Amino acid sequence: MTAKVPAICLLALCGIANAAAQTKVLPAPLSPPTIYSAPTPAPLAPPINPGPAVVPPAGLSPLLTEPGPVYPAPERAMPAYPSPQLPGPTGQQNMQSYRNNLLDQQWQLERSGVSPSSERGREVQQQLNQPSQR
């Protein structure tokens, strides 16, 4: 029985050594990042006023003294398009637009599966059947 105790101790020591070898060493804290900043340039002296401008002996160019274009712009010929022809008087256009809107509503109702005998379907049909007021 005494021989078993040293073997158990030896196994326990080996297990402890293995466990110590497997533990990871925590890394040392990293040093803070180095921040580089651009050096500030040396201040410059303010510009010196050279004085009034000297007029050349031949005088200033007409490009500088006369406002507007040097050459007259060519006149553009307007295209001879006919005036737009509207389909009818404004009231007639409004009535046609209203009728088209009602037909669109009727088509959407039919497409969505609403019965033509439903209340909304009958309202639209009734408005479509009204004689146009001219």
pLDDT in tens, 31-70: 888 888 888 889 988 889 888 888 888 888 777 777 777 6
Q: Comparing C-alpha atoms, which of 95, 107, 93 is closest to residue 124? A: 107
| Pairwise pLDDT comparison (115 vs 80), residue with the higher score | 115
Q: How confident is the model at residue 134 (pLDDT cuts 50, 70, 90)?
A: very low
Q: What is the pLDDT of residue 104?
A: 93
- Measured CA to CA in angstroms, residue 92 lies from 41, 127, 132 at distances of 76, 16, 9
Mean of pLDDT values over 116-132: 84
Q: Chain-wide mean pLDDT for the chain?
A: 77
pLDDT per position as a tens digit, 81-107: 777 777 778 788 888 888 899 999 988
The answer to whether residues 82 and 67 touch, using CB atoms and an 8 Å cutoff, is: no
Give the whole-number percent of the chain exceeding pLDDT 70.
76
How buried is 124 (Cβ within 10 angstroms: 0-12 exposed, 13-18 middle, 19+ buried)? buried
Across the range 66-81, mean pLDDT stands at 75
pTM of this structure: 0.33
Q: How far separated are the first and last CA of the chain, in Å rounded?
A: 123
HEC states along the chain? CCCHHHHHHHHHHHHHHHHHHHCCCCCCCCCCCCCCCCCCCCCCCCCCCCCCCCCCCCCCCHHHHCCCCCCCCCCCCCCCCCCCCCCCCHHHHHHHHHHHHHHHHHHHHHHCCCCCCCHHHHHHHHHHHCCCCC
